[in-house]
């Protein structure tokens, strides 16, 4: 994020605009200094930058060292808990009854001229909360993190590097109606946000950095999920394809079936192609699809790829080289070439499994961090680390809990 961009955000005032999507407030004043070892009492210097995994279980969450797989903290929490990368490489946003609660995963770096110093601390829930009635999607992109409150339709956008400071001074938007939605802010301050009600989600709106609506589309029934591809192409899922927002233009890419739902996507800056799920039975209570979608955001095309097994919404990921990764119910990690749609390899990781009918129940889950694929095995209470390039299981560890959701942070670098 450039200083010009930050200054633009601080100067802009959004209140009072007569828009269907109303901007309530903008960033005001310079953000607080980034966290430092001096502000964390138990901070210690480390030889290398460390990464962290955060997994949930019934009764709390655990933080693990992503290299050694050692459990560093066990934090009790009541109820069903969701976790999302906050976008700064250090913190995780935990969905709680109060809203989005900030978890410090306890690993970061500080730049000192031509080198950096690395630090670690005990993971902890910081007490900082972004209030939300029903905390939903969290989308970090290009140094900004967008939080969507499904209960009110409110979007809160903050500098990712200062997410630990809380919501004060954040950019806040309110959609016309509360709904299960999503938003993403791009490099120039443009916001792409879903549109809908509790009964029907219908499309997206686009606002520029000044809060002026520059585009909209209602051609997306059942809006769900988003991903950002190369050159900031945003893909939003629909029941009959996707909407692609790219270079100021919204394009509908239709599914080959009248009902061809894409609701979960995985994108990467390394590829113009977005990986998505694909469901084609509108009457199924729980469809177990065996095809995935590949949306080319430049060509505006959609390709379907047949897999040897079905998968779940927690099965999609992207390799460091842009490869499309799918964890199948056959227990294998399937690697697909996004450019050709060819199945490159299938590497066995866990025993075959069945997707539970209740979406909140544990199932094998994929998370990619630092180029490695982390796969949970709830049935065996284990966690595996897989190299997607070779298919080799690099390391495995037994867990003391039954893992459910999984996320990770790769360590943050702050200027000093």
> Is 368 contained in some domain?
yes
> Is 206 contained in some domain?
yes
pTM here is 0.89
Average confidence (pLDDT) over 90-118: 91
pLDDT value at residue 221: 98
Is residue 12 scored above 70 in pLDDT?
Answer: no
> Is 34 contained in some domain?
no
In this predicted model, what pLDDT tens digit does every residue of 355-401 receive, in sequence order?
999 999 999 999 999 999 999 999 999 999 999 999 999 999 999 99
Average confidence (pLDDT) over 285-313: 98
Pairing relationship of beta strands 71-76 and 82-85 according to DSSP bridges:
unpaired
Share of the chain above pLDDT 90, in %: 81
Is residue 32 scored above 60 in pLDDT?
Answer: no
Q: Looking at residue 113, which CATH number applies to its domain?
A: 2.130.10.10
| pLDDT band, very low/low/confident/very high, at 118 (cuts 50, 70, 90) | confident
Is residue 1 scored above 60 in pLDDT?
Answer: no
> Is 37 contained in some domain?
no
d(CA 62, CA 255): 39
> Is 254 contained in some domain?
yes
Is residue 21 scored above 80 in pLDDT?
Answer: no
Nearest alpha carbon to residue 173 among 188, 187, 194: 194
- State the total domains in the chain: 1
> Is 404 contained in some domain?
yes
Residues β-bridged to residue 216: 205
In this predicted model, what pLDDT tens digit does every residue of 317-370 receive, in sequence order?
999 999 999 999 999 999 999 999 999 999 999 999 999 999 999 999 999 999
pLDDT value at residue 49: 85
Is residue 42 helix, strand or coil? Answer: coil
In this predicted model, what pLDDT tens digit does every residue of 150-181 receive, in sequence order?
999 999 999 999 999 999 999 999 999 999 99
Is residue 96 scored above 50 in pLDDT?
Answer: yes
d(CA 139, CA 85): 8
Do residues 147 and 159 make contact, with C-beta atoms less than 8 angstroms apart?
no
> Is 78 contained in some domain?
yes
Lowest mean pLDDT among 11-25, 58-72, 124-138, 201-215: 11-25
> Is 163 contained in some domain?
yes
Range of the domain at 139: 3-29+42-415
């Amino acid at each position: 994020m450039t200083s010009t961009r930050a200054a633009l955000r601080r100067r802009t005032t959004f209140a009072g605009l007569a828009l269907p999507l109303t901007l309530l407030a903008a960033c005001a004043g310079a953000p607080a200094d980034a966290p430092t070892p001096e502000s964390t009492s138990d901070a210690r210097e480390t030889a290398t930058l460390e990464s962290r995994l955060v997994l949930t279980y019934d009764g709390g969450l655990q933080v693990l060292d992503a290299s050694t797989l050692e459990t560093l903290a066990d934090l009790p929490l009541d109820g069903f808990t969701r976790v999302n990368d906050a976008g700064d490489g250090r913190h995780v946003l935990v969905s709680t009854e109060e809203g989005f609660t900030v978890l410090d995963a306890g690993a970061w770096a500080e730049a000192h001229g031509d080198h950096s110093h690395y630090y670690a601390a005990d993971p902890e829930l910081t007490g900082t909360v972004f209030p939300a009635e029903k905390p939903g999607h969290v989308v970090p992109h290009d140094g900004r993190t967008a939080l969507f409150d499904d209960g009110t339709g409110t979007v809160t956008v903050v500098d990712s590097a200062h997410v630990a400071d809380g919501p004060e001074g954040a950019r806040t938007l309110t959609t016309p109606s509360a709904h299960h939605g999503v938003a993403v802010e791009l490099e120039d301050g443009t916001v792409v946000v879903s549109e809908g009600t509790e009964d029907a989600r219908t499309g997206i709106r686009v606002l520029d950095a000044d809060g002026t609506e520059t585009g909209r589309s209602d051609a997306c029934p059942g809006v769900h999920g988003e991903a950002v591809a190369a050159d900031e192409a945003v893909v939003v899922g629909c029941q009959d394809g996707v909407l692609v927002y790219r270079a100021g233009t919204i394009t509908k890419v239709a599914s080959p079936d009248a009902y061809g739902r894409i609701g979960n996507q995985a994108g990467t800056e390394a590829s113009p192609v977005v990986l998505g799920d694909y469901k084609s039975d509108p009457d199924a209570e729980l469809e177990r699809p065996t095809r995935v979608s590949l949306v080319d955001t430049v060509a505006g095309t959609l390709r379907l790829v047949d897999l040897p097994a079905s998968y779940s919404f927690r099965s999609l990921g992207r390799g460091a080289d842009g490869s499309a990764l799918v964890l199948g119910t056959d227990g294998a990690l399937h690697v697909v070439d996004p450019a050709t749609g060819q199945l490159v390899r299938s590497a066995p990781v866990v025993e075959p499994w069945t997707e539970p009918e209740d979406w909140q129940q544990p199932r094998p889950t994929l998370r990619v961090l630092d180029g490695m694929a982390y796969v949970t095995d709830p049935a065996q209470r284990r966690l595996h680390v897989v190299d997607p390039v070779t298919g080799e299981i690099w390391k495995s560890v037994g867990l003391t809990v039954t893992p459910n959701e999984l996320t990770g942070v790769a360590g943050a670098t702050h200027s000093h």
